[in-house]
């Protein structure tokens, strides 16, 4: 890049996710959480190093992964059922087949009466459910989630997290979940990975979450194990968060 | 629309707060509004008619509205105007189809191939900056007095509007929609079909209203400058013999035709963009 410095969002990341594991990545703003996920998805190429998925290097879009975005990914000009069946129809399935499968998924996420609506006619929670069905219907081995519920209100969010856990437990898929909410990360995951302050951040800690499953997310925040883990991990995360904050303040000082 | 409006009125009646009531009193029902619009038309035309009859305004420049309508009726009932109208429509439709197709194609290609966009951008800006009317004489020389000089002229008007809107429409597609479709396995062709074209449609439609009007403008102006048939030619003929009634009659007929076409475009737009939330309230 002429005239500019290369910005390393993340460096020396070595992260492994085993099949069937739910791994959350938590870090302060600007720690490159989304960068990691986009590289795993194949939407972004690492400037050096390699991303492998099931032993094979990711080249172009990662075919074995589905991605759940923070923003609304539904095509506004397609009905709910057409949105959900999109992955199947694009892979060459007939419309009837795809719709039958989509109906099954809509029933699973509680939207079977909304198949013919357009996205703008749904609430935020319903759109998220549609997005979940859309991502899961292609039966990926890995689910990459980039703060998928951050735009929802707190209650809807907890309900969605519960539903996500149920879906995941039935499926045995690997999940990489990005969030800046430590509560959410601990409640959902088998493992919480902490990223350091950016730029050029790296993994600074990794914690095994051995709270037994199935978990009820509506009550888990009072669980003594949860509280102990939260205290331990927050102790580490806090350091990185304040580092980020101090850097931001210093930069602001420079500008002023 | 009417249904929606009456529903809104019902709602405000139910809410019946002080401000609502005041608003309702000033807001006319659609039917009453139509009536008022009709009255306004009668008043303006009546004032025109009276001031001409009273000699305040020269009839030579502003013929009596009643005479204009008579001329319109004569042109329509005798069938005089229809061959002209047909020629004009042929030119406009051809100009529109060829211009829109070329605009769409180039818009999509340039939006997807960054290199070409950067390469061609200054040239496109240059041609777009050119006042298109000055092209009419050269097109007359190149393509003759027949319909093709008008088609070429209309093309230059339609093409740029559709092109710039398509380019903007495709480029402004939400990044997440593209990424999501790619993650779901979309090929470049499928991206175009499921994401880019529908997304650009809103832009293309907003340009469609203008470009349809421009296609007709192109045809009429072209005819006016030199032709052997068409409404523009008929108007030029009337002007040639100082028949202002004929000029006004031609304008009036064109206005009605464009209105009807715009109505059809609206219908099509509402059908194709039915997924869009209604922007009422």
Q: Which CATH number characterizes residue B179's domain?
A: 1.10.3720.10
CA distance B100 to B80: 31
Q: Where in chain A is the domain with CATH 3.40.50.300?
A: 1-64+142-256
- Enter the DSSP assignment of A201: B
Tens-digit pLDDT profile for residues B39-67: 999 999 999 999 998 988 888 888 989 99
Q: Is A61 on the interface with B (CB under 8 A)?
A: yes
CA of residue A189 relative to chain centroid, distance:
11
Residue B193 C-alpha, separation from nearest chain A C-alpha, in angstroms: 11
**CATH T-level assignment (fold) for domain A1-64+142-256:** Rossmann fold (3.40.50)
DSSP per residue, A174-194: EEEEEES-HHHHHHH-SEEEE
Domain count, chain B: 2
**From the candidates A41, A80, A90, A139, which should be mutated to test the interface with B, based on the most B CB atoms within 10 A?**
A90
Which one of B174, B194, B201 has the shortest CB-CB distance to A86? B194
Nearest to A87 among B177, B179, B184 (CB): B184
Taking the CA of residue A74 and the nearest CA in chain B, the distance in Å comes to 7
How much is the pLDDT for A255?
Answer: 61
B247 neighbors B67 (Cβ within 8 angstroms): no
Chain B hits for A76, CB-CB cut-off 8 Å, are: 275-276
CB contact under 8 A, A91 and B174: no
Say what angle helices B147-171 and B114-129 make with each other, to 10 degrees: 130
ipTM over 0.90: no
Say yes or no: B179 contacts chain A, CB-CB below 8 A: yes
Q: What is the CA radius of gyration of chain B?
A: 24
Chain B: closest CA distance from residue A121 (Å): 8
On whether any CB of chain B is under 8 Å from the CB of A92, the answer is no
Q: Are residues B110 and B221 in the same domain?
A: yes
> What average pLDDT is seen over chain A?
84
In a domain, B64, yes or no: no
CB B84 within 8 A of CB B172: no
Asked if B203 and B165 touch (Cβ cutoff 8 Å), the reply is yes
Output the 3-class SS for B75-141: HHHCCCHHHHHHHHHHHHHHHHHHHHHHHHHHHHHHHHCHHHHHHHHHHHHHHHHCCHHHHHHHHHH
pLDDT (0 to 100) of residue B22 = 53
- Are B34 and B151 in the same domain? no
Same structural domain, B81 and B147: yes
Q: Tally C-beta pairs within 8 A across A and B.
A: 65
Spatial CB neighbours of A46, under 8 Å, sequence gap ≥ 6: A39
Distance CA B171, CA B61 (A): 50
Q: Burial level of B186, CB count in 10 A (0-12/13-18/19+)?
A: buried
Contact A90 B183 (CB under 8 A): no
The whole-number pLDDT of residue A60 equals: 76
DSSP run (H or E) holding B212 = helix B197-225
Residue B180 CB neighbour total at 10 angstroms: 27
Percentage with pLDDT > 90 across chain A? 18
CA distance A64 to A135: 11
The pair of structure tokens assigned to A77 is 């000009």
Sign of CA dihedral A73, A76, A81, A82: negative
Determine contact: B276 vs chain A, CB below 8 A. yes
Please identify among residues 223-242 of chain A the ones whose CB lies closer than 8 Å to any CB of chain B: none
Domain residues for the domain of B13 are 2-57
Closest-CA residue of A relative to B176 is A73
| Residue B267 domain-assigned (yes or no) | yes
Give me Rg for the CA atoms of chain A.
19
- CA pair distance B14, B35, nearest whole angstrom: 26
| Chain B contact set for A135 (CB, 8 A) | 183-184
Rounded to the nearest integer, the mean pLDDT of chain B is 84
pLDDT tens, chain B, 281 aa long = 344 444 444 444 444 444 445 555 667 788 999 999 999 999 999 999 999 989 888 888 889 899 999 999 999 999 888 999 999 999 999 999 999 999 989 998 998 888 998 999 899 888 888 888 888 888 888 998 888 999 999 999 999 989 988 888 888 888 889 999 988 888 888 988 899 888 888 888 877 888 888 898 889 888 888 888 888 888 988 888 888 888 999 999 999 998 999 899 888 888 888 888 775 43
State the pLDDT at residue A256.
54
Residue numbers in chain A where pLDDT is lower than 70: 1-14, 198, 254-256
One domain, residues B101 and B230: yes
**Which chain A residues contact residue B182 at CB under 8 A?**
43, 61
How does DSSP assign A51-83, residue by residue? -EETTEE--SS-TTEEEE-SS--S-TTS-HHHH
Q: Which of A38, A62, A69, A75 to mutate against chain B (most B CBs within 10 Å)?
A: A75
Assess if residue B145 is contained within a domain.
yes
Indicate if the alpha-carbon torsion angle B145, B149, B153, B154 is positive or negative. Answer: positive
Q: Which pair of tokens denotes residue A78?
A: 């397609």
B185/A43 Cβ within 8 A: no
Residue B144 has what pLDDT?
Answer: 86
| Closest-CA residue to A62 (of A80, A42, A82) | A42
What DSSP string describes B131-196?
Answer: -GGGHHHHHHHHH-SSHHHHHHHHHHHHHHHHHHHHHHHHHTS-HHHHHHHHHTT--HHHHIIIII
Q: Which of B176, B187, B276 sits opposite A69 (nearest CB)?
A: B176
Please check whether residue A90 touches B, CB under 8 A: yes
- Examine the domain organization and report whether B198 and B116 are in the same domain: yes
Asked whether residue B52 falls in the same domain as residue B167, the answer is no
Residues of A in contact with B186 (CB under 8 A): 90
Torsion over CA: A163, A166, A171, A173 (sign): positive
pLDDT at B281: 36
């Amino acid at each position: 890049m002429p005239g500019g410095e290369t910005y390393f969002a993340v460096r020396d990341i070595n992260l492994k996710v085993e099949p069937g594991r739910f791994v959350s990545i938590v870090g302060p703003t600007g720690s490159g959480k989304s960068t990691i996920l986009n590289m795993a998805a194949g939407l972004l190429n690492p400037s050096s190093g390699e991303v492998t998925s099931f032993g094979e290097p990711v080249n172009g879009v990662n075919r074995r992964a589905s991605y759940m975005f923070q923003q609304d990914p539904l095509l506004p000009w397609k009905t709910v059922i057409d949105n959900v069946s999109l992955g199947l129809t694009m892979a060459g399935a007939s419309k009837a087949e795809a719709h039958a499968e989509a109906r099954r998924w809509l029933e699973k996420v509680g939207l079977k009466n909304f198949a013919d609506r357009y996205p703008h006619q749904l609430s935020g929670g319903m759109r998220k459910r549609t997005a979940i069905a859309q991502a899961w219907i292609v039966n990926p081995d890995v689910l990459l989630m980039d703060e998928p519920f951050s735009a929802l209100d707190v209650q809807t969010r907890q309900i969605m997290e519960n539903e996500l856990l149920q879906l995941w437990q039935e499926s045995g898929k690997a999940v990489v979940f990005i969030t800046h909410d430590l509560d959410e990360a601990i409640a959902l995951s088998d493992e919480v990975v902490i990223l350091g302050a950016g730029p050029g951040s790296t993994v600074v800690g990794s914690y095994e979450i051995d709270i037994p499953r199935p978990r009820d997310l509506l009550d888990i925040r009072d669980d003594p194990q949860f509280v102990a883990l939260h205290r331990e991990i927050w102790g580490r995360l806090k350091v990185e968060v304040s580092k980020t904050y101090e850097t931001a303040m210093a930069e602001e000082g420079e500008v002023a | 629309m009417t249904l929606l409006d009456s529903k809104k009125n019902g709602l405000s009646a139910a809410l019946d707060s002080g401000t609502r009531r005041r608003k309702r009193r000033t807001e006319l029902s659609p039917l009453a509004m139509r009536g008022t619009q009709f009255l306004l038309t009668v008043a303006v035309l009546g004032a025109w008619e009276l001031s001409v009859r009273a000699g305040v305004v020269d009839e030579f420049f502003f013929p009596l509205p009643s005479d204009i309508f008579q001329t319109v009726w004569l042109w329509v009932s005798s069938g005089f105007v229809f061959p002209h109208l047909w020629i004009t429509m042929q030119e406009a439709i051809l100009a529109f189809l060829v211009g829109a197709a070329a605009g769409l194609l180039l818009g999509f290609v340039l939006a997807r191939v960054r290199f070409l966009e950067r390469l061609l951008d200054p040239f496109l800006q240059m041609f777009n900056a050119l006042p298109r009317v000055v092209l009419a004489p050269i097109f007359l020389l190149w393509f003759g007095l027949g319909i093709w000089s008008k088609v070429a002229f209309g093309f230059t008007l339609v093409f740029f509007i559709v092109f710039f809107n398509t380019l903007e429409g495709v480029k402004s597609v939400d990044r997440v929609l593209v990424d999501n479709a790619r993650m779901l396995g979309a090929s470049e062709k499928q991206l175009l079909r499921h994401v880019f074209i529908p997304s650009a449609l809103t832009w293309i439609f907003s340009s469609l209203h203008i470009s349809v009007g421009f296609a007709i403008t192109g045809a009429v102006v072209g005819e006016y400058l030199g032709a052997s048939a068409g409404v523009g030619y008929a108007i030029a003929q009337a002007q040639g013999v100082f028949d202002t009634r004929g000029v006004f009659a031609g304008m009036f007929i064109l206005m009605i035709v464009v209105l009807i076409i715009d109505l059809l475009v609206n219908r099509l737009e509402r059908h194709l963009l039915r997924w869009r939330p209604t922007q009422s309230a």
